[in-house]
């Protein structure tokens, strides 16, 4: 029997913010009025430790003495109700995993096991109904269950030995009734006709009955998710209802059919054909010359020129969008997290470095009362907040800058949530080798392990949501492991690795069967070799279970050893699992049994071609684009800004790291006040070891209300708006490429339902045809139905273009006295835009941008010109005096494709002579919107704009009180007497570290040599060897840099613990001490590195020592979420060598991105640190004054402390990411001094 110890960890009262938020949530949203208090405990059951190790782990790993209380028994008062919640068996528990990795470093063995639970103690007068309601609200059965309060005897999972894979006896002779019963019993996603087709194949060609695995593999292979079954259905007839607005749809259909004839298309008429006809037409015309085409299907890929140190190189730019609608609907955190993880995998499998993400989502009103939640649904608030946490958690951990976050609200999304991830990746073209596999080539499985938690990923993603889904779909959503995918990111960024890869495929929803099955025609797969998360998996589960962090790569036999060596260097598991053959059959073995043996030709049929008819209904005969009559302009403007789809989403967006990678050209919110939203994202191409001025612009277009009125117009204007936004950011519409995302109701045999995607795709086709652009990729999701509810008929257009950074334009008004112009887009009586006018506007504006004449631009969207100019004004607090010739009514009309432009008045005089251009007014410095005699305070408009979602996604926390100012410490510390050449900087990379590239490049720009080393801890031997190597490299270094990230996912329940545990190893502690005090070296920690230095004791004490209950520390931001934005910080002490080249009082504008950045210390400690000059930097307001105002001190650090040093200044820790300002064309829409020269100072210390 195992020796199992149990402990409970809870935040001390002043730090128990999560419990306070949960109490308020249950009282206000669940209306549990008898609830008076909540205490939250993290329960750990631990096996495999001796007494000494367990006692050490209590305060080093499982808790933090300054903020946590540890209990051996659960402290419960009489009358309390205890609720314990744990993950379902097989779900990934990052907290337990990270705890075990930390314990491995503590004991240098792999013998420990940890299981966790969240224990909630409820106090108050609660009825049985109250407790049941709380359990229902807090436990999602898809991912979790109520845990027992009893002690456990073992932490080992009990798995039964799986039986051999069964043959489906009698399959080839079953009648229709028996086949239907089999389909229902197995829960197959394929159609009955497909199953009959399988029966014929096995009866006539294989002359045997299939195994269960074979039917499951075929079901997965032919799923709508993997093979776009709905989009490939033949449309035998398309008819149209007569109506004013169906005429352009019918003309679009005739144009489509004409194009098919011109291209001599013989394939059936399908949704897929409609979606791809534009690209085929343009290619036939000799256009799209920079498309990168190959047999690999990774992501949309174009060839672009990239400036690298002034020399043009050929690069591949990859982009991909994907939805996880069904998984997010039933388990919002995991579904949204794996939406991003899955989206990343596609361009990553193309050997690109994925560097930026966009998130576009659809939801019902998140303010809806919980009591109004439909049966079988999660509350909208739970969905939207949980999904935001999941997506941001994954992106923040993997180190991916999320440049735009936009959530659309419409009651149709109650049917099913929309969760779209879109990502960009890039790589030098020379890094990517694409060769056809040949017999004998080896297939290597790289990355994560297989579990049964992903067995329904492909078939489940295409399911219609029912009232039973929450109870029955647990195997269709995984918990992602971003730290493993980060390792693959690192590996595939290495040229010497990627040139060994002939072909690569990600382990998406189809698991082994699809990921490996698609690599080549003939394959022999040994499922016994597939690494497993746990025992008990049968052959079928191993064949079809997806994994979020795995790749299958094809490598020539002579390159296998070299590839495996590189994988080991990146701490990645790599396993040979298959070999390419010349049989043109997919063969899988398990336990000596052939459980799959199918011809490639049969698999590639994709099943029986379905046939349907479509009927396009007429949009309602109304003027959708004209706003209701404006009788009170002030009220209308305020009401418009408070509309849910126009309202500020800053509180949502700023939980996503937008600056990692040091490539962000435009912050999501710009201007002096960081309030003007950017309608897209701009980032520099991820060039290593060089400088570039080449950036990508990525935008999207969509309006659910317009799509509901007319799917045709909705899709057409989605394309137009995505291009307009791109042009407004400085892009050239002539170089644009598109990708689409479709999301529609379950179509079945409903002809009118089929008419919706037909209408939308025809609208998108006409827009592409007229603009001369092409959607070279896309993704469809056709399951947006719940009972009698359906999602809006959705087509989202994504647009991308490369551009020089000097041409990038941000949307915030720049200064008073400039002209505000409207470049309008006229429409005809059928609601179709004048494409020639649109192209002329786009081309003229791009020429003006290149000439440097455009100050700001904003595409007009929902809310019309009124919403656009208000948002442009918020960033710098400017007003607009509107010309008398521009009527109040025209302010609010819908004008998709129009662009508001700020320019100087001289240029404006010339520009208004152009067709479709008029002056709206002049910018003013008075903070007022003036139209005639009406004056509306910008502050009132901003309040109306920020109010609607502030209760769901708060923009800032409550502000503390008190004076935070400190006297300046102006005495510089001593300089080194001995000069040095180029100092060497050692940068350790732990699981979860994601700022190592930015940190290394910052030091190298300053003249140092960066030495980056990945910790290997897959085995105890790997760990021991890594520690020895680290100690040697520290001995050769002059500086050690602890970079930012999420070491071990900031688990268990606290940041920096993994690094701190690692460097408490005696060999590394000794190496640190020697570096600092025998060799006169320096240490720097930023963000997660600062957290590690604090938890090591190096800060503020200067030496590694245990934390005490009263030690200063860093803990959770009071707002309760991640914070990503720019802050102003003031240097208040120059005692440290890190500040030898600045003056006390200097203010720098620096990026923050953290969830645990609140510095806490006692008043006595603060006074002592200040007196010694150890408080290095403080958060300050726009006047340079240290403050508790949460607008400027967002994490609510005590005395506004942002950075501190050791007593002698050698060790510096700070939260703000100084390393992320890499060039003058970074953060262009943010004012201030963004260059904080600490890296140059650190290097100069040795010269």
Phi, psi of 570, deg, nearest 5: -95, 10
The whole-angstrom separation of Cα 1189 and Cα 1177 is: 16
pLDDT at 466 over 60: no
Per-residue H/E/C for 861-891: CCCHHHHHHHHHHHCCCCEEEECCCCCHHHH
365-to-387, 414, 642, 643 alpha-carbon distances in Å = 14, 9, 14, 11
pTM listed for this prediction: 0.96
pLDDT band per the 50, 70, 90 thresholds, residue 472? very low
Identify the band that residue 461 occupies on the pLDDT scale cut at 50, 70 and 90: very low
Bond from prior residue into 1100 cis (ω within 30 degrees of 0):
yes
pLDDT reading at 456 higher than 70: no
CA–CA separation, 254 and 197 (whole Å):
35
pLDDT for 866-921, tens place per residue? 999 999 999 999 999 999 999 999 999 999 999 999 999 999 999 999 999 999 99
Summarize the confidence of residues 130-134 as an average pLDDT.
Answer: 95
For residues 738 and 768, is the Cβ–Cβ distance under 8 A? yes
Residue indicated by tokens 């994601």: 994
Quick one: pLDDT at residue 2? 64
CA-nearest of 836, 625, 803 to 726 is 803
| Span 984-1244 CATH architecture | 3-Layer(aba) Sandwich (3.40)
Mean of pLDDT values over 836-844? 98
Tell me how many degrees the CA angle 1088-682-404 measures, rounded to the nearest 5: 70
* pLDDT digits 0-9 by tens, 761-814: 999 999 999 999 999 999 999 989 999 999 999 999 999 999 999 999 999 999
pLDDT at 212: 97
Q: How much is the average pLDDT of 496-521?
A: 91
pLDDT band at 859 (very low <50, low <70, confident <90, very high): very high
pLDDT digits (tens, 9 = 90+) for 326-345: 889 999 999 999 999 999 99
Q: What is the pLDDT of residue 1109?
A: 93
Cβ atoms of 1163 and 1000 within 8 Å: the answer is no
First to last CA, the chain: 61
Query: Above 90 in pLDDT, residue 223?
Result: no
In the predicted structure, residue 102 carries a pLDDT above the cut 60: yes
On the question of pLDDT at 741 being above 70, the answer is: yes
Q: What is the pLDDT of residue 729?
A: 98
Which residue is associated with the tokens 């969905």?
Answer: 383
The answer to whether residue 455 scores a pLDDT higher than 70 is no
Q: Is the pLDDT of residue 388 over 50?
A: yes
**pLDDT score for 470:** 46
**pLDDT band, very low/low/confident/very high, at 478 (cuts 50, 70, 90):** low
pLDDT tens digit string along 510-526?
789 888 999 999 999 99
Average pLDDT on 1032-1037 reads 98
Torsion over CA: 207, 209, 212, 216 (sign): positive
| Nearest by Cα to 241 from 512, 617, 757 | 617
Q: Is pLDDT of 393 > 70?
A: yes
Tokens 């690795």, residue located: 497
pLDDT of residue 475: 46
Stretch 938-956: mean pLDDT, rounded? 98
Q: Is the dihedral of CA 1166, 1170, 1176, 1178 positive or negative?
A: positive
Mean pLDDT, rounded, for 128-152 = 94
Q: How far is it, in rounded angstroms, from Cα 988 to Cα 1015?
A: 7
- As a whole number of angstroms, the distance between CA 304 and CA 319 comes to 13
Q: What is the pLDDT of residue 226?
A: 67
Spatial neighbors of 660 by CB under 8 A, at least 6 apart, are 396, 399, 400, 401, 994, 995, 998, 1044, 1153, 1217, 1220
- Show the tokens assigned to 966: 């400190």
Residue 32 has pLDDT above 80, yes or no: yes
What confidence tens digit (pLDDT) does each residue in 1158-1176 have?
999 999 999 999 999 999 9
Digit-coded pLDDT (tens) for 719-731: 999 999 999 999 9
Q: How high is the mean pLDDT of the chain?
A: 94
How far apart are the C-alpha atoms of 1145 and 1129, rounded to whole Å? 9
Query: Which range (422-426, 474-478, 640-644, 1020-1024) has the least confidence?
Result: 474-478
Residue 476: which pLDDT band, with cuts at 50, 70 and 90?
low
SS3 at position 646: coil
pLDDT for the residue 224? 75
> Token pair for residue 41?
């405990």
Contact assessment for residue 467 and residue 376, using Cβ atoms and an 8 Å cutoff:
yes
For 170-207, the pLDDT digits (tens) are 999 999 999 999 999 999 989 999 999 999 999 999 99
Over the stretch 542-565, which tens digit does the pLDDT of each residue have? 999 877 788 999 999 999 999 999
Q: Which sequence positions are flagged as catalytic?
A: 1087, 1217, 1219
Name the least confident of 97-101, 348-352, 395-399. Answer: 97-101
pLDDT above 70: percentage of residues in the chain? 97
Closest by CA to 449, choosing from 508, 567, 525, 531, is: 531
């Amino acid at each position: 029997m195992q020796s199992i110890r149990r402990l409970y960890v809870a935040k001390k009262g002043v730090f128990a913010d999560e419990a306070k938020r949960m109490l308020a949530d249950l009282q206000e949203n669940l209306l549990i009025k008898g609830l008076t208090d909540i205490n939250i405990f993290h329960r750990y059951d631990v096996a495999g430790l001796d007494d000494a190790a367990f006692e050490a782990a209590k305060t080093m790993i499982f808790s933090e003495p300054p903020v946590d209380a540890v209990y051996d028994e659960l402290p419960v008062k009489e009358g309390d109700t205890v609720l314990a919640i744990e993950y379902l068996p097989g779900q990934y528990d990052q907290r337990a995993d990270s705890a075990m990795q930390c314990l491995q470093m503590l004991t240098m063995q792999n013998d420990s096991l940890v299981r966790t639970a969240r224990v909630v103690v409820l106090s108050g007068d609660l009825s049985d109904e109250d407790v049941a309601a709380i359990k229902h609200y807090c436990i999602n059965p898809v991912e979790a269950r109520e845990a027992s309060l009893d002690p456990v005897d073992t932490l080992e999972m009990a798995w039964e030995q799986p039986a051999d894979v069964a043959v489906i006896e009698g399959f080839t002779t079953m009648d229709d009734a028996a086949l239907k019963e089999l389909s229902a019993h197995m829960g197959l996603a394929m159609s009955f006709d497909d199953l009959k087709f399988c029966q014929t194949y096995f009866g006539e060609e294989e002359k045997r009955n299939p195994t269960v695995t074979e039917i499951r593999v075929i079901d997965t292979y032919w799923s709508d998710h993997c093979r776009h079954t709905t989009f490939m259905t033949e449309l035998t007839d398309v008819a149209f209802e007569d109506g004013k607005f169906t005429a352009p749809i019918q003309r679009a259909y005739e144009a489509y059919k004409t194009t098919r004839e011109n291209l001599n298309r013989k394939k059936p008429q399908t949704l897929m054909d409609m979606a791809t006809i534009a690209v085929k037409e343009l290619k036939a015309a000799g256009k799209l010359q920079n498309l990168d085409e190959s047999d690999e299907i990774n992501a949309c890929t174009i060839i672009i020129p990239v400036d690298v140190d002034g020399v043009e190189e050929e690069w591949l730019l990859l982009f991909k969008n994907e939805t996880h609608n069904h998984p997010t609907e039933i388990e919002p955190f995991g579904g949204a997290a794996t939406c991003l993880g899955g989206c990343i995998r596609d361009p990553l499998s193309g050997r690109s470095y994925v560097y930026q993400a966009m998130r576009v989502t659809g939801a019902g009103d998140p303010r809806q009362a919980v009591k109004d939640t439909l049966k079988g649904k999660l509350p909208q608030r739970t969905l939207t907040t949980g999904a935001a946490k999941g997506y941001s958690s994954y992106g923040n951990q993997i180190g991916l800058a999320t440049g735009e976050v936009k959530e659309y609200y419409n009651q149709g999304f109650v049917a099913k949530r929309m969760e779209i991830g879109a990502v960009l990746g890039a790589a030098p073209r020379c890094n990517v080798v694409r060769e056809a596999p040949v017999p004998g080539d080896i297939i290597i499985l790289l990355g994560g392990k297989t579990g049964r938690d992903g067995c329904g990923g492909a078939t489940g993603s295409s399911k219609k949501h029912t009232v039973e889904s929450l109870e029955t779909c647990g195997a269709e959503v995984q918990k992602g492991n971003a730290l493993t995918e980060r390792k693959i990111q690192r590996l595939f960024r290495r040229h010497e690795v990627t040139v060994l890869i002939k072909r690569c495929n990600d382990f998406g929803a189809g698991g082994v069967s699809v990921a490996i099955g698609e690599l080549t025609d003939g394959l022999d797969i040994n499922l016994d070799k597939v690494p497993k998360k746990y025992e008990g998996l049968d052959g079928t589960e191993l064949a079809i279970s997806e994994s979020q962090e795995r790749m299958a790569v094809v490598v020539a036999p002579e390159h296998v050893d070299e590839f495996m060596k590189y994988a080991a260097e990146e701490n990645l598991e790599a396993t040979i699992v298959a070999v390419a053959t010349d049989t043109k059959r997919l063969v899988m073995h398990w336990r000596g049994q052939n459980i799959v043996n199918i011809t490639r030709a049969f698999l590639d049929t994709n099943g029986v071609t379905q046939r349907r008819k479509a009927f396009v209904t007429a949009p309602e005969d109304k003027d959708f684009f004209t706003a209701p009559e404006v009788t009170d302009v002030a009220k209308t403007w305020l009401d418009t800004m408070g509309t849910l789809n126009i309202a500020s989403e800053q509180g949502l967006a700023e939980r996503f790291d937008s600056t990692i990678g040091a490539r962000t050209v435009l912050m999501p919110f710009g201007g002096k006040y960081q309030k003007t939203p950017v309608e897209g994202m701009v980032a520099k191409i991820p060039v290593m070891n060089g400088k570039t001025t080449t950036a990508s612009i990525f935008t999207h277009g969509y309006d659910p209300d317009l799509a509901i009125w007319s799917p045709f117009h909705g899709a057409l204007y989605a394309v137009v708006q995505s291009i307009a936004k791109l042009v407004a950011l400085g892009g050239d519409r002539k170089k644009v490429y598109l990708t689409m995302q479709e999301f529609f109701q379950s179509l079945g045999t409903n002809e009118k339902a089929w008419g919706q995607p037909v209408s939308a795709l025809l609208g998108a086709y006409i827009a592409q045809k007229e603009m001369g652009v092409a959607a070279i990729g896309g993704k469809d999701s056709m399951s947006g139905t719940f009972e009698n509810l359906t999602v809006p008929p959705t087509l989202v257009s994504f647009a991308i273009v490369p551009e020089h950074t000097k041409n990038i334009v941000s949307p915030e008004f720049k200064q008073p006295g400039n002209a505000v112009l409207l470049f309008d887009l006229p429409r005809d009586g059928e609601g179709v835009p004048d494409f020639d006018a649109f192209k002329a506007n786009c081309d003229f504006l791009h020429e003006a941008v290149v000439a440097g004449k455009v100050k700001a631009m904003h595409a007009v969207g929902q809310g019309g010109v009124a919403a656009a100019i208000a948002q442009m004004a918020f960033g710098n607090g400017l007003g607009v005096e509107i010309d008398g010739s521009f009527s109040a009514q025209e302010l609010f009309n819908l004008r998709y494709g129009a662009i508001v432009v700020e320019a100087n008045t001289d240029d404006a005089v010339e520009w208004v002579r152009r067709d479709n251009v008029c002056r709206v007014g002049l910018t003013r410095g008075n903070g007022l919107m003036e139209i005639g005699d009406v004056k509306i305070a910008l502050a009132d408009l901003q309040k109306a704009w920020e109010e609607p979602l502030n209760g769901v996604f708060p923009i800032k926390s409550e502000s503390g009180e008190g004076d935070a100012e400190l006297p300046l410490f102006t005495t510089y510390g001593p300089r080194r007497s001995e000069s040095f050449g180029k100092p060497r900087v050692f940068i350790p990379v732990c699981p979860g570290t994601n700022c190592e590239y930015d940190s290394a490049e910052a030091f190298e720009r300053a003249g140092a040599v960066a030495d980056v080393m990945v910790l290997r801890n897959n085995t105890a031997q790997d760990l021991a060897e890594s520690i020895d190597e680290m100690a040697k490299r520290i001995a050769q270094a002059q500086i050690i840099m602890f970079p930012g990230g999420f070491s071990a996912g900031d688990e268990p329940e606290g940041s920096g613990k993994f690094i701190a545990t690692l460097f408490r190893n005696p060999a590394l502690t000794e190496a640190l001490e020697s570096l600092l005090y025998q060799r006169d070296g320096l240490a720097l920690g930023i963000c997660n590195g600062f957290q590690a230095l604090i938890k090591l004791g190096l800060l503020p004490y200067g030496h590694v020592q245990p934390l005490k209950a009263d030690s200063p520390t860093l803990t959770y931001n009071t707002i309760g979420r991640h914070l990503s934005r720019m802050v102003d910080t003031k240097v208040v002490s120059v005692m440290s060598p890190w500040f030898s080249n600045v003056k006390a009082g200097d203010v720098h504008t620096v990026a923050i991105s953290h969830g645990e950045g609140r510095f806490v210390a006692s008043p006595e400690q603060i006074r002592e640190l200040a007196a010694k000059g150890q408080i290095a930097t403080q958060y300050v307001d726009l006047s340079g004054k240290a403050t508790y105002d949460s607008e400027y001190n967002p994490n609510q650090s005590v005395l506004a402390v942002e950075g501190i040093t050791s007593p002698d200044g050698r060790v510096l820790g700070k939260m703000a990411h100084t390393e992320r300002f890499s060039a003058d064309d970074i953060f262009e829409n943010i004012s201030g001094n963004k260059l904080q020269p600490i890296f140059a100072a650190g290097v100069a210390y040795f010269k």
